[in-house]
Amino acid sequence: MSNAGTDTHSLTTEDLEFLRRPLHGFLSIAGSPLPPQPRPVWFEATDEGSIQLFTAPGAPKVRHLRRDPRASIVVASPVGERERWVSVAGPATIEPDGAHDLAARLGARYWDLGDPVRAGELAEMVADELVRLVIRAETVHRYLM
């Protein structure tokens, strides 16, 4: 059974369950150079159906979002699992608060913080100046093979 190209304006319960796994998302920004250059990112899906991530305030993605707030993220299942992906697109905002807490949560989700090297890298990351990027879903596409 396949569920190809389903288009909605919000994330389903099944989408949120999938997106809460420690998977990398591939972020594309509309204001970027053409063609878009997707970048792998850590992310978090919120109960409200938005996607949030963190970055340095001077990062190129922040400059591009200030010019054009359109963004999208695609998350795919890993090799060895049934083919599945979810794509979320919509306007992104740059939020000055919450980025450090988000970075700490995502560090614990993606890394084994029992490893002192990883724990130290996360502590350095959280000590830096950060902003939170929030993509509000306008269009959601999904595929499940």
DSSP class of residue 67 equals: H
Encoded tokens for 5 = 């190209």
CATH code for position 100: 2.30.110.10
Q: Note down the domain range covering 58.
A: 3-139
Q: Quick check: is 16 in a domain? A: yes
> Measured between alpha carbons, how far is 52 from 103 in angstroms, rounded to an integer?
10
What separation in angstroms does the CA of 30 have from each of 40, 56, 97, 103, 132? Answer: 16, 19, 23, 24, 18
144 occurs within a structural domain: no
Q: Is residue 145 part of a domain?
A: no
What is the per-residue pLDDT for 1? Answer: 43
Average pLDDT along the chain, 145 residues, taken 10 residues at a time: 67 95 96 80 95 96 94 96 96 97 97 96 95 97 91
- As for how many domains the chain has, the answer is 1
